[in-house]
Amino acid sequence: MSLLRVENLHAVLKESMEEILKGVNVKVNSGEIHAIMGPNGSGKSTFAHVLMGNPKFKVTSGSITLDGVDLGDLSTDERAKQGMFMTFQHPQEIPGIRLRSFLIAASGELGNMESPIMKSRKIDRLSIDNSFDKDLVDRYLNVGFSGGEKKKSEIVQMQFLKPKLVVLDEIDSGLDVDALKVISKSINSFRSERNGIILITHYERLLEYVVPDYVHVYVDGSVVASGGPDLAREIQQSGYERYAVSLREV
């Protein structure tokens, strides 16, 4: 069943009106994992931000549909309520809001009417499952967290809020091998026929632990090639240059 459908998506940066998405086409079915790989500066993170409705960007043509709902006019919080979730490449520190309180409040906004006590127990269990120090859930969101702790916090949020579509923007960056294995295990366990996952990454390392159904090569604001897991291994060996050359020739 089609979960996410992105068709001929074009978008510009509002400040400069520079086009940064140049006709992106991606389809994600329920139960699938899609990896988006590409060189630095190719627009992978921008694509994620446009999916989530970041107001810095303006869609000029094309469409984004999630589970049959056109997201074109929806704000970021409205998209989240439709079941979309995105982790940040560089999670922000938010003083004054404790992680536990944030999660309990967010789940209520998404329609989870369980008692705060039940929610709190689930948060503690997920923290243990992710080797995430349980004390951190009662600290201000990401404040004083290490890079790995911030990424684990994002995964705990994903598992607790249970979105339909997850966009993981370089969740592997800055992780040591042990943390990568923990996060990969959580991603694999989260995968189900009720959701879809997009992994945005530079490297094939993450895809050794989380095997995608499809790999898309993203260069200069568009998808220029798609294939199976073998495509990621090919990129690891030969890089992105031949895709960039092909695009320049076009």
Which of 225, 168, 222, 170 is CA-nearest to residue 195? 168
Report how far residue 30's alpha carbon sits from residue 5's, in angstroms, rounded to the nearest whole number. Answer: 11
Which of 204, 250, 203 is CA-nearest to residue 230? 204
What are residue 118's phi and psi, to 5 degrees?
-65, -40
Report how far residue 217's alpha carbon sits from residue 225's, in angstroms, rounded to the nearest whole number. Answer: 5
Tokens for 121, please give them.
């127990």
pLDDT reported for residue 39: 87
Rounded to 10°, the helix 147-161/116-129 angle is 130
DSSP H helical ranges for 110-176 = 116-129, 147-161
pLDDT reported for residue 248: 44
pLDDT reported for residue 65: 98
Rama region for 136: left / alpha / beta (φ>0; ψ in -120 to 50; rest): alpha
Intervals of the chain under pLDDT 50: 247-250
Adjacent-strand bridge partners of 240: none
Which of 191, 190, 193, 209 is CA-nearest to residue 201? 209
Taking only the tens place, the pLDDT of each residue in 162-214 is 999 999 999 998 899 999 999 999 999 999 999 999 999 987 889 999 999 99
